[in-house]
Amino acid sequence: MSTTPTLKTLTRVPNTVGVRSLMVIALAFAGLLLLSNLPFISNTLHSYLSSIPLAIAGIGYAILQLRAGTSRGTLFKRLLLAATFVIWAVDQLLPSGRLATVVGDMVIAAYVLDLYWITQEQVATVNSTSDSDNRST
Q: What is the pLDDT of residues 56-92, one digit of tens each?
A: 999 999 999 999 989 999 999 999 999 999 999 999 9
> Which carries the bigger pLDDT value, residue 10 or residue 22?
22
> Which carries the bigger pLDDT value, residue 58 or residue 12?
58
Looking at residue 135, what is its pLDDT?
66
| pLDDT band with cut points at 50, 70 and 90 for residue 128 | confident
- Each domain of the chain, given as residue ranges in start order, spans 7-136
HSE, CB side, 13 Å, CA atoms: give it for residue 71: 2
pLDDT above 80 (res 130): no
Residues 107 and 80: beta-carbon distance below 8 Å: no
Give the CA distances from residue 38 to residues 41, 42, 54, 73, 83, in Å, rounded to whole numbers and listed in that order. 6, 9, 20, 43, 30
Q: How many helices (H) and strands (E) does the chain have?
A: 5, 0
Looking at residue 40, what is its pLDDT?
85
Work out the percent of the chain whose per-residue pLDDT is above 90.
58
Residues 57 and 85: beta-carbon distance below 8 Å: yes
Strands (E), the chain: none
> Which carries the bigger pLDDT value, residue 125 or residue 135?
125
